[in-house]
């Protein structure tokens, strides 16, 4: 009996541990998240459904037929002038080094070279006005290459019928196509980073907004105040639980994408680790938006409209399903300031192109600016009661 009282007295004298209290909050909150159907559906189920759909129907197909013209080409010819106006035939204008890199990675289907030929040879027979050479890579879907050749042949035929009804032709296509090594760029390599970003965005915004609002409404925060734990540790405990849930989501999505659909992890486990770091950065930034929504919301019904106002523009314009290169300039300029767009770009650069975090300083810098700005606002509007 005396030993029991002595132990109880010793325990009472033991100093209160803020860290242990924070871990207890983290553990309890994490269990609550996994028991929440909406959190599991939005973070796991929806992104995996999109990945499964695009993984099965996308295969190795390109997102569009994109070509570039060799910078050394003569672009004054009639064939090139007509190609510019063909719908779906996207001519990309970049410098020579970037064109070669895009071709190697499968972002371009071919590089077209127009060479002006002499009008006659020694025998006096007319030559074609231009020779057309195609350069492609092993990463390119051969169906796209066939489409490009078919389009070129159709344009040449129409010009010949109009300008050269006799034997001469405006151009001929070289049957020998130069092929360079390359990595296959599958649809899943574009879609999966976008879906992972979407999952992190919804978890950060909706998850934080609802959890802190409900903690206030159910007076759980008020009960916390009756304990010795400091407010900072309350926020850290809840925040860490959301971060852990988000990182678990990221690992599951990446592993399923890689094993089931051959999502490219160019440097293996190193790439996986760098993607997890990017997920952590993105999630922390997005949680700031959740704190803002939680502070501004007067009742629970207001949270979804506020949260959708933040998430929907990023979901639609942040490069989740399709590249922003197809946007008009004014819309592309708006998309380029969205944090989700830069998170998606960084993830794609790391996963497929072999970039490292040190190569993504621009994207990380913009995410950092968003993080500082949004947490300044969150501190101003956040309410405990």
pLDDT in tens, 195-212: 899 889 988 888 888 887
* 139 CA to centre of own chain: 20
Sequence-ordered list of residues with C-beta below 8 angstroms from that of 272, at least 6 positions apart, any chain: 254, 265
Taking only the tens place, the pLDDT of each residue in 279-338 is: 999 999 999 998 898 888 888 888 888 888 888 888 888 888 777 776 788 888 888 999
pLDDT above 70: percentage of residues in the chain:
80
d(CA 27, CA 154): 65
- Is the pLDDT higher at 383 or at 111? 111
Joined together, the tokens standing for residue 181 give 């090594």
Gyration radius (Cα) of the chain, Å = 28
* Average pLDDT of the segment spanning 339-359: 89
Which fold does the domain 65-180 belong to in CATH?
Answer: abc type-2 transporter like fold (3.40.1710)
Distances (CA, A) of 47 to 32, 39, 148, 286, 367: 21, 12, 34, 17, 22
d(CA 73, CA 29): 62
Joined together, the tokens standing for residue 256 give 């399923």
What does the pLDDT read at residue 43?
A: 66
Local confidence band at 135 (pLDDT 50, 70, 90 cut-offs): confident
Q: Looking at residue 206, what DSSP letter applies?
A: I
Local confidence band at 274 (pLDDT 50, 70, 90 cut-offs): very high
Which residue from 345, 308, 353 is spatially nearest to 324, judged by alpha carbons?
A: 345
Distances (CA, A) of 353 to 52, 58, 95, 98, 326: 23, 20, 18, 13, 21
What does the pLDDT read at residue 306?
A: 86
* Average pLDDT of the segment spanning 47-67: 59
Segment holding 320, helix H or strand E: none
Distances (CA, A) of 381 to 95, 216, 293, 384: 47, 14, 9, 10
Phi, psi of 110 (to 5 degrees): -165, 160
Which residue from 277, 284, 245, 258 is spatially nearest to 372, judged by alpha carbons?
A: 284
- Is the pLDDT higher at 49 or at 359? 359
- For the chain, give the mean pLDDT: 79
**Domain locations in the chain?**
18-57+186-381, 65-180
Q: What angle do CA 22, 16, 375 make, to 5 degrees?
A: 35
DSSP labels for 184-205? Answer: ---HHHHHHHHHHHHHHHHIII
What does the pLDDT read at residue 51?
A: 67
Q: Looking at residue 377, what DSSP letter applies?
A: H
Which residue from 317, 257, 326 is spatially nearest to 64, judged by alpha carbons?
A: 326
What does the pLDDT read at residue 40?
A: 64
Phi, psi of 141 (to 5 degrees): -65, 125
Flag whether pLDDT at 368 surpasses 70: yes
d(CA 233, CA 231): 5
* Average pLDDT of the segment spanning 371-385: 85
Taking only the tens place, the pLDDT of each residue in 109-122 is: 888 888 887 664 44
- Is the pLDDT higher at 14 or at 276? 276
Distances (CA, A) of 99 to 4, 16, 70, 152, 168: 78, 62, 8, 20, 33
Local confidence band at 14 (pLDDT 50, 70, 90 cut-offs): low
Taking only the tens place, the pLDDT of each residue in 243-259 is: 898 899 899 899 988 88
Taking only the tens place, the pLDDT of each residue in 174-192 is: 777 766 565 666 778 888 8
d(CA 299, CA 301): 6
Task: Specify the pTM.
Answer: 0.69
């Amino acid at each position: 009996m005396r030993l029991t009282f002595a132990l109880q007295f010793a325990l009472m004298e033991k100093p209160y541990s803020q860290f242990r209290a924070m871990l207890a909050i983290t553990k309890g909150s994490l269990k609550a998240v996994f028991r929440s159907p909406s959190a599991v559906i939005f973070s796991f189920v929806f992104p995996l459904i999109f990945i499964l759909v695009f993984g099965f129907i996308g295969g190795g197909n390109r997102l569009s037929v994109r070509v570039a013209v060799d910078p050394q080409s003569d672009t004054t010819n009639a064939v090139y002038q007509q190609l510019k106006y063909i719908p779906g035939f996207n001519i990309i204008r970049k410098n020579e080094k970037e064109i070669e890199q895009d071709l190697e990675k499968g972002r371009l289907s071919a590089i077209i070279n127009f060479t002006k030929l002499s009008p006659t040879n020694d025998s006096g027979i007319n030559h074609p006005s231009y020779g057309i050479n195609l350069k492609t890579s092993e990463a390119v879907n051969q169906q796209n290459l066939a489409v490009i050749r078919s389009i070129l042949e159709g344009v040449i035929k129409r010009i010949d019928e109009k300008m050269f009804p006799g034997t001469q032709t405006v151009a001929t296509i070289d049957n020998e196509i130069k092929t360079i090594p390359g990595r296959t760029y599958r649809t899943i390599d574009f879609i999966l980073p976008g879906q992972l970003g979407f999952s992190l965005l919804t978890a950060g915004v909706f998850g934080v907004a609802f959890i802190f609002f409900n903690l206030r409404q159910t007076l759980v925060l008020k009960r916390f105040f009756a304990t010795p734990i400091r407010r900072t540790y309350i926020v850290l405990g809840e925040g860490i639980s959301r971060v852990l849930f988000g990182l678990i989501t990221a690992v599951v999505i990446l592993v399923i994408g890689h094993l089931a659909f051959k999502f490219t992890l160019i440097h293996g486990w190193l790439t996986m680790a760098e993607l997890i770091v990017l997920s952590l950065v993105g999630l922390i930034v997005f949680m700031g938006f959740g704190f803002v929504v939680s502070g501004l919301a007067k009742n629970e019904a207001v949270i979804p409209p506020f949260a959708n106002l933040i998430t929907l523009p990023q979901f639609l314009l942040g490069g989740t399903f399709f590249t922003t290169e197809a946007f008009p300039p004014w819309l592309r300029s708006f998309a380029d300031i969205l944090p989700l767009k830069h998170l998606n770009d960084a993830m794609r650069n790391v996963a497929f192109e072999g970039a490292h975090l040190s190569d993504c300083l621009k994207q990380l810098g913009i995410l950092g600016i968003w993080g500082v700005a949004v947490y300044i606002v969150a501190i101003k509007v956040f309410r405990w009661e």
